Structure 1
Amino acid sequence: MTHPVDVHVGKRVRHRRWLIGMTQQQLAEQVGIKFQQIQKYETGANRVSASRLWDIADALDVPVSFFFEGLQGDEKPEDSKTTLPADLMADKEALDLVRSYYAIPENQRRRLFELARVLSDVA
C-alpha cells in the first residue's frame, strides 16, 4: 500500500520534471537509474530514499524541501482574493503556461507579468 507522503513526493518529482521539459529517461540517466524506477517514484509505488531524493533534487535544480511543499500542515493562509485549485501543479495547462512564460525573454516576461497583475486587479 502506498503512503500519502510517497505519492506527494512522486507528484512533485513529476511536476518539476514536466515544468522543465525533462523526460523520465533523461532524469533517470542523470540520477543513474532506469526510467522505470522514475515511473515508480512518480506514482508513489516505490519510496524514494534520502540519497536518491538528493540526487533527483540536484538533477531537477530544486532544494530537497521542494518535494515536501504542500503537505498537510504546510499550508499558508488563503488569500481571500485568490481562488486557486488545490493542486495547481497537477494542471497540465498551468504547467504549459508556466513553461511558456519562462521561454519569453526576461524584459518581455516582466511586462507580461505587470499586465497580468493589472488585469487581475480589475477582475
Structure 2
Amino acid sequence: MADNKLPSGIDRVVGQRIRWRRKELKLTQEKLGELLGLTFQQVQKYEKGVNRVSAGRLFEMSTAMGVPITYFFDGAETFLDHQASQVAEDGGAIHAPVMTSEILDLIAAFQKIEDQSLRKSLLATVQAAATAFDGKQQSED
C-alpha cells in the first residue's frame, strides 16, 4: 500500500509551477525562502517535488507570489491524463512532465508577445515543427 505522505506526480507539477512563478518574479530560492520563513533548501525541495507542500504553505506562497492558489495546479489535469496513458504503456512506470529552463524561457517570451495573430502564427510554426520532427522520429524507428 502506498504511503500518502510521499510526493506524487501532482506534487512535481505544483513544484514546477512554484519554480516557474519564482523565476517570473525574478526571485532566488533564498529570497522566496526569506519571504516565507523557509530555507532555500526547503524551497528547492518543494520545487523539485521531493517534499509535499501543505495546503497552508501553498496558500502562503500564493499570497507572497501574487497568484491565486489554483495557479499551482494549472497543468495537473494534463499530467493526470498523461500519467494514466504512460502507466498503461510503460507497465506501471510514472513520468512527470519536465519543465526545463529552456521551456520556461520559451513560455515567458511567448507571454510577452501581445499581438494575438503573431502568437497564433508562432504557435502554428512550433506545432508544425514538432509534428514534422515526430514523423521523422517514427520513420527512423
**Hey, what's the Cα distance between the residues in 2 that align with 1:116 and 1:101?**
7
* Map 1:24-103 → 2, pairs under 5 A: 24-72=29-77, 87=97, 90-100=99-109
- Confirm or deny: 8 A CA contact 2:110 2:119 kept in the other structure: no
Residue 14 of structure 1 aligns to a residue in which SS?
helix
Structure 1: unaligned runs, 5 residues or longer: 76-85
Q: TM-score, normalising length from structure 2?
A: 0.58
Give the direction of change, closer, same or farther, for the CA distance of 1:36–1:119 in structure 2 (3 Å limit). Answer: closer
Give the direction of change, closer, same or farther, for the CA distance of 1:9–1:120 in structure 2 (3 Å limit). Answer: closer
The residue type equivalent to 1:24 in the other structure is Q
Aligned to 1:78: none
Cα RMSD over matched residues?
Answer: 3.1
By how many angstroms is 1:100 displaced? 4.8
> Highest relative contact order (Cα 8 Å, sep 6+), 1 or 2?
1
**Hey, what's the Cα distance between the residues in 1 that align with 2:16 and 2:7?**
13
By how many angstroms is 1:39 displaced? 1.1
Percentage of pairs with the same residue: 39
Aligned to 1:110: 114
Q: Pick the structure with greater CA Rg.
A: 2
Give the direction of change, closer, same or farther, for the CA distance of 1:115–1:64 in structure 2 (3 Å limit). Answer: same
By how many angstroms is 1:93 displaced? 2.6
By how many angstroms is 1:56 displaced? 0.9
Q: Which runs of 4+ in 1 moved over 6 A?
A: none
30-39 or 65-74, larger mean C-alpha shift: 65-74
Q: Which has the higher helix share?
A: 2
